[in-house]
Amino acid sequence: MTYLLALDQGTSSSRSIVFDEHGRIVAQAQLELPQIYPRPGWVEHDPLEIWRSQLATARAALAKAGIAANAVRAVGIANQRETTVLWNRKTGQPVHHAIVWQDRRAEPACAQLREQGHAGAIQAKTGLLIDAYFSGSKLQWLLDHVPGAREAAERGELAFGTVDSWLIWKLTHGQRHLTDVSNAARTMLLNVHTNQWDDDLLALLRIPRALMPEVLPSSADFGDTAADLLGHGIRIGGVAGDQQSALFGQACFTAGMAKNTYGTGCFMLMHLGARFQTSDNGLLTTSAAQLAPKPGAGSGEAEPALAQRAYAMEGSVFIGGAVVQWLRDGLRAITSSAGIEALAHSVPDAGGVMMVPAFTGLGAPYWKPEARGSITGLTRGSTLAHIARAALESIAYQSAALLQAMGRDAVAAGGAPVSELRVDGGACINDLLMQFQADLLGIPVLRPAVIETTALGAAYLAGLSSGLYHSTDELAQLWRAERRFEPRLDRARAQELMAHWEHAVRQATAR
């Protein structure tokens, strides 16, 4: 049997999973990652803790699988995107905590860019809207606020990376400073038409090019892990941002296929194929996981990077499963995250209660950074169970708003709306949530047999570059559904519920 090791570094935990060649989980290990909240709206991680926890889970997963590192064909990395790390090239030490994707401290700088009229040009080159969500504005903040950072960066002493770059650097003992196109596309600094860092964007945000990692396809040779880390050097063969990795792991390889990941946030991606299309409905266009050029494809320097280009339309919900964590840790309404389904099930519906969990603003399709969380529709008869149900349903409402926006973009481009939604992530095991999601959307929701599709996508990318698999057609044959949720709710009632949701959003954004 041949094995693949996936490192899945997420917002709230570091996880490693050993897969066999059929995409089945052999063993896994996970460690929670501490969150750091220096100020309201600020979120940080300790980069060294990211590294320590990821390495520890990789070693633990191999030990649980009962295999040595030399039995692993390749390593794949999936990571929380946009989270920004800046470190010293000589010492390997971070110059500051990592600024997490949820962090809003760069919003004033982003507002200035919007006021200066740069939004159209940035969207045309990157597919992104100007927002503090993306890495470029976080990196600009670090250079402007960490003493001596800008001067050191201009001298070539510092390195920037999203979490994938940081892990590759540590895994190779500082020998490789790389990223993949799917992570690079989330920086607001990459021209997604050429897969190159854009000089105009770097100049606009005053970021020295010397900081930037080399950009490779998602399935490529990222170097070998240092032998002393896992007991044997293993080729790093696949890297992708967690959401593009999940799209790949869900076998959504063709235009019109879509998936939604229910994690700390919710992330819905619809594959666009090789066609770049900007959204008129508040969504982002991003690079999907891209394969290395086929031998003999194209000539010249720019052409190979374009040989297997792939794009996706994306909508991001900032607070998805994190609303359950808030009920547990903030309100102490439940003792464990798993307890919310039973509590929500104890009432037939939310009793008119509507929760908008805009704890760090609202993402797509609203893009309201000033929004704050709200609970509306409370009566004397409202109970904790109604609030719990409203919290759970808020995840589905936000995701339904994303799919509706995607449908409008798809139809405008001459395509058809999404006909089914593949789901993954920790919260997708909640049957109540998945059924409500299908009811709101009016299309089937399919839960796969392996819900760890983020890690699976990274493993598949590594398997392709190492020759274990030969095509995406081969991978598509491995995908299996565990359960299919069919919509049961009358469409008129579903539309009424969505109208109530939109009203609650307007209340949350009224300032």
Token code pair at residue 234 = 């293993």
CA pair distance 389, 340, nearest whole angstrom:
8
Beta bridge partners of 312: 271, 286
Residues 389 and 505 in one domain: yes
- Residue 282 exposed, middle or buried by CB count within 10 Å (0-12, 13-18, 19+): middle
Looking at the predicted structure, is the pLDDT value of residue 248 above 90? yes
CA pair distance 403, 380, nearest whole angstrom:
34
- Residue 157 exposed, middle or buried by CB count within 10 Å (0-12, 13-18, 19+): middle
pLDDT at 511: 64
pLDDT at 410: 84
Confidence of residue 342 (pLDDT cuts 50, 70, 90): confident
Neighbour-count burial for 317-354, b at 16+ CB within 10 Å, e otherwise: bbbbbbbbebbbeeeebbeebeebbebbeebeebbebb
pLDDT at 281: 87
Residue-number span of the structural domain to which 365 is assigned: 322-416+487-509
The chain-wide mean pLDDT, for the chain, equals: 91
**498, 441 Cβ separation under 8 angstroms:** no
CA pair distance 183, 291, nearest whole angstrom:
14
Whether omega for the bond prior to residue 365 falls within 30 degrees of 0, making it cis, is yes
DSSP state of 254: S
Name the maximum alpha-carbon separation found in the chain.
Answer: 70
CA pair distance 160, 209, nearest whole angstrom:
10
Q: pLDDT tens for residues 472-494?
A: 999 999 999 999 999 999 999 99
Return the SS3 of 157. Answer: coil
CATH number at residue 389: 3.30.420.40
Lowest mean pLDDT of 75-89, 130-144, 368-382, name the range.
Answer: 368-382
Beta bridge partners of 368: 362
How many beta carbons lie within 10 A of that of residue 50, not counting itself?
Answer: 23
CA pair distance 58, 461, nearest whole angstrom:
18
Structural domain total, the chain = 2
Name the domain boundary from 204, 221, 244.
244
Q: pLDDT tens for residues 132-148?
A: 989 999 999 999 999 99
Q: With respect to residue 434, please indicate whether it lies within any of the assigned structural domains.
A: no
Residues 209 and 326 in one domain: no
Q: Which helix (H) or strand (E) holds 408?
A: helix 384-412
pLDDT at 301: 45
Residues 114 and 228 in one domain: yes
Name the domain boundary from 199, 216, 244.
244
Q: With respect to residue 287, please indicate whether it lies within any of the assigned structural domains.
A: no
Looking at the predicted structure, is the pLDDT value of residue 303 above 50? no
CA pair distance 57, 16, nearest whole angstrom:
5
pLDDT at 263: 82
State the virtual CA torsion across 220, 78, 400, 419 in degrees, nearest 10. 40
Mean pLDDT of the 382-396 span: 92
Looking at the predicted structure, is the pLDDT value of residue 317 above 90? no
Mean pLDDT of the 449-471 span: 94
Q: With respect to residue 119, please indicate whether it lies within any of the assigned structural domains.
A: yes
CA pair distance 17, 13, nearest whole angstrom:
13
Confidence of residue 209 (pLDDT cuts 50, 70, 90): very high
pLDDT at 304: 42
Lowest mean pLDDT of 171-180, 236-245, 298-307, 329-338, name the range.
Answer: 298-307
Mean pLDDT of the 456-460 span: 97
pLDDT at 185: 96
Residues 342 and 224 in one domain: no
pLDDT at 295: 59
Distance of CA 344 to the CA centre of its chain: 27
CA pair distance 429, 422, nearest whole angstrom:
13
Mean pLDDT of the 314-324 span: 85
pLDDT at 427: 85
Residues 336 and 191 in one domain: no
How many beta carbons lie within 10 A of that of residue 96, not counting itself?
Answer: 16
What string of DSSP letters covers 164-187? Answer: HHHHHHHHTTTS--EEEHHHHTTT
Residues 196 and 333 in one domain: no
Token code pair at residue 229 = 């880390």
In the chain, the percentage of residues whose pLDDT exceeds 90 is 73
Looking at the predicted structure, is the pLDDT value of residue 82 above 80? yes
Mean pLDDT of the 421-443 span: 92
Q: With respect to residue 275, please indicate whether it lies within any of the assigned structural domains.
A: no
pLDDT at 360: 79
Mean pLDDT of the 366-379 span: 88
CA pair distance 262, 340, nearest whole angstrom:
15
Looking at the predicted structure, is the pLDDT value of residue 299 above 90? no
Residues 219 and 354 in one domain: no
In the chain, the percentage of residues whose pLDDT exceeds 70 is 97
* Amino acid of residue 399: S
Looking at the predicted structure, is the pLDDT value of residue 296 above 90? no
Confidence of residue 328 (pLDDT cuts 50, 70, 90): confident
**Closest C-alpha to 510, from 356, 357, 372:** 372
**Closest C-alpha to 414, from 231, 233, 273:** 273
Q: With respect to residue 127, please indicate whether it lies within any of the assigned structural domains.
A: yes
Residues 236 and 332 in one domain: no
Residues 234 and 99 in one domain: yes
Q: With respect to residue 273, please indicate whether it lies within any of the assigned structural domains.
A: no
Q: With respect to residue 272, please indicate whether it lies within any of the assigned structural domains.
A: no
pLDDT at 394: 93
Looking at the predicted structure, is the pLDDT value of residue 177 above 90? yes
Looking at the predicted structure, is the pLDDT value of residue 326 above 90? no
Residues 122 and 220 in one domain: yes
Name the domain boundary from 184, 219, 244.
244
Looking at the predicted structure, is the pLDDT value of residue 411 above 90? no
Q: Which helix (H) or strand (E) holds 285?
A: strand 284-287
Higher pLDDT, 100 or 416: 100
Residues 40 and 166 in one domain: yes
Return the SS3 of 479. Answer: coil
Q: With respect to residue 334, please indicate whether it lies within any of the assigned structural domains.
A: yes
Q: pLDDT tens for residues 258-285?
A: 999 998 888 899 998 888 988 888 888 9
pLDDT at 302: 42
Mean pLDDT of the 58-77 span: 96
CA-based Rg of the chain, rounded to a whole angstrom? 22
Residues 134 and 24 in one domain: yes
